[in-house]
Amino acid sequence: MPKLTANILLVIILIVLPIPALSQSQIEVIKTYLKQGKIEKARELLSPLKSDNSPVVLATFGDYYYLVKDYQQAIDYYNQSLKIESNPDILANLGEVYWSRHQNSQRLLLGFQGIVNPQLINRLKTESASDRQQALSIWQQVFKVDPDRAKASLYLAKADPKYLPQAETVVNQLPNNATKVPFILNLAELSGDKNLLELALSLTKDRRITSWIYYQQGTIPSLIEALNLAESLPAYDLLWRYQWKLADLYGEAGDKKREQVFLELAVAATQELRINPANVELKATIEPLYKKLAQLYFQNGSVKQGQDILNLLQVSQLQSFLLENCFTEVTKYLNPQTKNVAYIQTLVVNNGIFTIVKKGDSLQKSFTPIKSEEIQQKVLALRTTLPDTTSEKYIILSQELYNLLIAPIKPQLSGVNQLVFNNDPILTTIPYSALYDGKKFLIEDFAITYSLGFSPQIMASQNPSKTLLMGIENPPQPWINLPYAEEEINAIANTVPASVKAEEKTFTNFKTIQPDFNTIHIATHSQLAVDIKESTIVFADREVTMAEFERVLASRSEPIDLLVLSGCQTGVGDSRSVLGLAGMAAKNQVKKILASLWAVNDADTAKLMEQFYSFRQSGVSDAKALQMAQKQMLQNNLPPFSWSSFILIEN
């Protein structure tokens, strides 16, 4: 479905209404900052106006919360404004908030791969359908009552193409002046009619909008014009797009040298973007750009440069998950020298998979040809067939993935007993331990862990090892009970002498007692999604966002040696969630996290955890303890679905 361009849409949404004299200048400046994406400055000016209940100030708070993607707050402020004074423009903006929340739910649903929390899926589907209907209803209402119906008509056309002829009629009837330009541009994007761009160009004197029009025209000469204007502003949020598009055009023309130059410039421009909730999606869209440049470097034999680009991409993705500018000064990239450990980095491109293997001083690159769509289908198929424990269909898929991902590098793994993966997002949800070579599973030969491409500085713990155990067997509704959670906690307590079982299992109590422990084990429901605000963990009193949980970790003065998140519906739903979990750990001095890629029966989880801690107590590494526990489950004839979901992320 077509969508309005966010940069141009801001011009439509952030209209200037009649403003009381007292706050007129502040509101005008705030709206300008919001249009420019200067969220922090807008927030500073808004703070003193919290007690101002005039409709325009309330609506401006709605604008702000819409841009930072706090949709419920935006809805509340717009509704407060509309209760005081009816205004079709604010009502149309309210519809846009519902629509954006609908699209956000759709993105979450599309991002989930394979086995995830069904309750979350059902809730998202219900909320998404409700928000979509609410948006359409509001825009239909605005279209009927607003004399200036252009905005509502474009919103309706965005939601449903059947409204496009209506939008074309309404926009074409607008007088030809500068105020018409944003409507023309959105109509051009929805309809695909590039002739409208010439009309828009003749009506505007705004250099930013002019540069965008040149960009939309999509030729090398027009893009050079767009680039010159963006550089003169400067507008880094536009600059990288223009440079990237130029790189694509030069690549199509066979000019590989200019293609690489403009890709490098585009990547450099994205490094100037500060992460905030308003541009987090923009940061997420750079993945194909970085991957293309890394691919060129790998093809040219510049493996180290390609790895550097992938590390920069990883930092940007971590910033998108954590919603802040973290890891901005990372310089210590992984340079392992241990010969019995192989560090494996993967990059999936349109026509295949690059695999870089680092073992001791050896650094080797291989390429396996396969369409990216095909590898994605195989990954999803494996994850969706694993739950069927009555069938061995998963064996075929598991062996196919082994042949694609492991067999090409198997000669390089001689003498290795541990594999550390730093994977392309497409591959992060694969249970590598369950990959099958035709005779045995990968976990039978190797301990398997996951890592970032860089090594954060984590201080050494000053306190003796002490383990906090918390089992949430009776979580709040609608989460189902975990009858084996207490059994899991009791078994671990009997295995680990220096452990304490939490009697009060609320989030409030967890915040109070957790600083005293350097190993924390929580048997509960949790769900990881596209970012830290959408991800959750459940305590006895309430569901907590991972953003709240992360703030507790950030407040610690001592590092955490191991954080375990176990439970029937602990799960990594989105392809970037493993990366996000690793980033949350690295940012907050957590050395290792043990978590699950999907929902697992809590009785099986209890068995695996008891064995993991038993082997850990014998003095082996956490990676080896997990391998031994998973092999024990396999030897007890439990299917891979029961044991392969658990992954160890190390920093």
For 286-351, give the DSSP string.
THHHHHHHHHHHHHTT-HHHHHHHHHHHHHHHHHHHHTS--STT---B-----TTEEEEEEEEETT
pTM, whole model, 2 decimals? 0.82
CA distance 44 to 170: 38
Q: Does domain 341-451 have CATH number 3.30.420?
A: yes
Which of 117-121, 443-447, 580-584 tops mean pLDDT? 443-447
CA distance 206 to 99: 28
Q: Does domain 467-650 have CATH number 3.40.50.1460?
A: yes
Task: Report CA Rg, the chain.
Answer: 27
Look at 546 and 3; give whichever has higher pLDDT. 546
Collapsing DSSP to helix, strand or coil, 418 comes out as strand
CA distance 91 to 196: 28
Q: Residues with Cβ < 8 Å from 559, sequence gap 6 or more?
A: 458, 459, 460, 461, 518, 589, 590, 591
Closest alpha carbon to 126 in 144, 146, 108: 108
Q: What is the mean pLDDT of the chain?
A: 86
The predicted structure's pLDDT at residue 361: 84
The predicted structure's pLDDT at residue 113: 53
pLDDT digits (tens, 9 = 90+) for 376-420: 999 989 988 988 878 888 999 999 999 999 999 999 999 999 999
**pLDDT class for 266, splitting at 50, 70, 90?**
very high
pLDDT digits (tens, 9 = 90+) for 496-513: 998 999 999 999 999 999
pLDDT digits (tens, 9 = 90+) for 234-261: 888 889 999 999 999 999 999 999 999 9
The predicted structure's pLDDT at residue 327: 66
For 127-172, give the DSSP string.
HHHHHHHHHHHHHHHHHHH-SS-HHHHHHHHHH-GGGHHHHHHHHH
The C-alpha angle with vertex 232 and arms to 226 and 233, in degrees rounded to 5, equals 95
pLDDT digits (tens, 9 = 90+) for 441-498: 999 999 999 988 766 555 666 667 899 999 999 999 878 888 888 999 999 999 999 8
Q: What is the side-by-side order of every strand in the sheet holding 646-650?
A: 362-369, 352-359, 341-349, 418-422, 447-451, 646-650, 592-596, 562-566, 519-523, 467-471, 499-501
% the chain with pLDDT above 90? 59
Region 2-22: what's the mean pLDDT?
A: 42
295 near 347, Cβ under 8 Å? yes
Look at 6 and 120; give whichever has higher pLDDT. 120
pLDDT digits (tens, 9 = 90+) for 591-611: 999 988 877 777 888 899 999
Number of residues written out for the chain: 651
Collapsing DSSP to helix, strand or coil, 422 comes out as strand
3-state secondary structure 523-578: ECCEEECCCCCCCEEECCCCEEEHHHHHHHHHCCCCCECEEEEECCCCEECECCHH
CATH of 6-149, one of 1.25.40.10, 1.10.760.10, 3.40.50.720, 3.40.50.2300: 1.25.40.10
560 near 591, Cβ under 8 Å? yes
pLDDT at 20 over 50: no
Q: Is 492 exposed, middle or buried (0-12, 13-18, 19+ CB in 10 A)?
A: buried
Sign of the C-alpha dihedral, residues 202, 203, 206, 209? negative
